[in-house]
Amino acid sequence: MLDCHILGRARAHGIEEGSGDGDLVKTAELSPNKNYILGCHPHGIMSAGAFTCFSTESCGFAEAFPGVRSSLAILAGLFRIPLFREYIMCAGLYPVSKRSLAHLLSKSGKGNAVVIVIGGAAESLASSPGANTVVLKQRKGFVRMALEFGADLVPVYSFGENELFKQVIFSEGTLGRRLQDLFKKIMGFAPCLFIGERMAFLPYRTPVTTVVGSPISVPKRVTATEEEVDHYHRLYMEGLSKLFREHKVPMSTVASIIHKWKKFGNTRTLPRAGRPSKLSDRGKRALVREVTKNPMVTLSELQRTSVERGEPSRRTTISAAIHQSGLYGRVARQKPLLSQRHMAARLEFAKMHLKDSQTTRNQIL
């Protein structure tokens, strides 16, 4: 049973800043006088968001966080593969081992931001377009490291990471899932059956937006208690959930923006169909002010003032502009003051007092 924390099942994407293939969104400052552990979610198939933002300068991390150096830590077993080891070392990647993390957080001064894709191989098996599932509830080793070295925790979410590839998801207990778990236990990473847009391994053209959240202050505790670990782990989970809720955008919105770009060559709001309004925004505001100030004003009077401002003066144009602001005229109901029942009751009362004296009538009136 995976220790999954489901942030949302509907397709979501962060587009708070920019609209390129990869964007970095900054929500808070990171002081160069501190060290940080950035937990990046979700893992996806290849962690493209984490690699692009924190191992290259294509997204401008150094410019967004001056004085802070990012270091991406990945599966230590990958450094045992010949040739591939040289490639990832040239890319500036580090093994996600305690010895490596301790070196980065204690012997490299301040201003270090160690990035860990916390979900790892287990989270990659849950990667699927439209799903936002992270494996986090039982992963507390990064919190212990943060307490041991006094490094602040920073939640990070890469919106669109799970949309880059389509994957065959095997249910828990099936033969395919058992084989994946066995391979992951032996080799350290999971064999995902995925397909991209071209040549099987090239991802779909979906923008990935990586949002860096606010840091969570963590004190230095060489021997932290389980209560302290659970406390800061809970704070981290709450911070990640808040970050996701504040920056998620429905995938349908992203799809419509992409469609608009492909069809029209821009993402600006296009003019609506139909004849444009003849009244200017200034003229509409003037009409609303006049009607609000004097609710008894007539359309004829509004026509005259509209002509004085040089605006269109048709009654239907003025009436439609007022109605769009939620203001409507009122006409009194054509109803007699006395109904038939009222008149019959008054006639009966008059017959009852027909023979009354003048003195009695004066008392009644």
**One domain for residues 172 and 285:** no
Confidence of residue 9 (pLDDT cuts 50, 70, 90): very low
pLDDT tens digits along 331-346: 656 666 778 888 899 8
Q: Give residue 313's domain range.
A: 281-324
**Three-state secondary-structure class, residue 319:** helix
Say how many domains are in the chain: 2
Asked whether the predicted pLDDT for residue 315 surpasses 90, the reply is no
Residue 331 lies in a domain: no
Nearest in space to 243 (alpha carbons), one of 130, 154, 339: 154
Residue 359 lies in a domain: no
pLDDT tens digits along 134-189: 889 889 999 999 999 999 999 999 988 888 888 888 878 888 888 888 887 777 77
Q: Kindly state the DSSP code that residue 202 receives in the 8-state scheme.
A: B
**One domain for residues 298 and 153:** no
**One domain for residues 130 and 172:** yes
Q: What are residue 211's DSSP bridge partners?
A: 25, 157
**Scanning the structure block, which residue is given the tokens 């966080």?**
65
**One domain for residues 165 and 35:** yes
**One domain for residues 192 and 317:** no
Residue 349 lies in a domain: no
| pTM of the full structure | 0.64
Residue 357 lies in a domain: no
Distance of alpha carbon 134 from alpha carbon 190, whole angstroms: 15
Residue 162 lies in a domain: yes
**One domain for residues 225 and 297:** no
pLDDT tens digits along 94-141: 999 889 999 999 877 899 999 999 988 788 888 888 888 888 988 999
Beta strands in the chain (DSSP E): 4-8, 12-13, 22-26, 36-41, 69-74, 94-95, 112-117, 132-135, 152-159, 166-167, 194-195, 208-212, 249-250
